[in-house]
Amino acid sequence: MEATMTAIELTGTVDERRQLQLDDLLPIPGPKRVRVIVLYSPVDEWSEMEWLQAAARNPAFDFFKDPEEDIYSLADGKPL
């Protein structure tokens, strides 16, 4: 029987002790052994565009695609 693996994408920070601190809780019950793949950029700072692109691809914000969340129009508010 072949094992099926499920992937979850989260962000986090590697601290000064080289330990990974996740920004959010894992959506799986524990205790459970997991495999971790760490992707990082050799550049310490992300540009604003890189942050926006990462957020746009993040499934955590999928609820914004729900039509019920689209409550504003161009007629709302005052121009800056």
Q: What per-residue confidence (pLDDT) applies to 18?
A: 93
pLDDT digits (tens, 9 = 90+) for 22-74: 999 999 998 999 999 888 877 777 778 888 888 888 888 888 888 888 888 88
Assess if residue 8 is contained within a domain. Answer: no
List of E strands, the chain: 12-14, 20-22
- Residue 12 sits at φ, ψ, to 5 deg, of -170, -170
Domains of the chain: total: 1
C-alpha separations of 38 from 11, 13, 63, 75 in Å: 10, 10, 26, 44
Assess if residue 5 is contained within a domain. Answer: no
Inform me whether the pLDDT recorded for 2 exceeds 80.
no
Assess if residue 58 is contained within a domain. Answer: yes
pTM across the whole model = 0.48
Q: What per-residue confidence (pLDDT) applies to 1?
A: 65
Assess if residue 35 is contained within a domain. Answer: no
Assess if residue 59 is contained within a domain. Answer: yes
Range of the domain at 54: 46-70
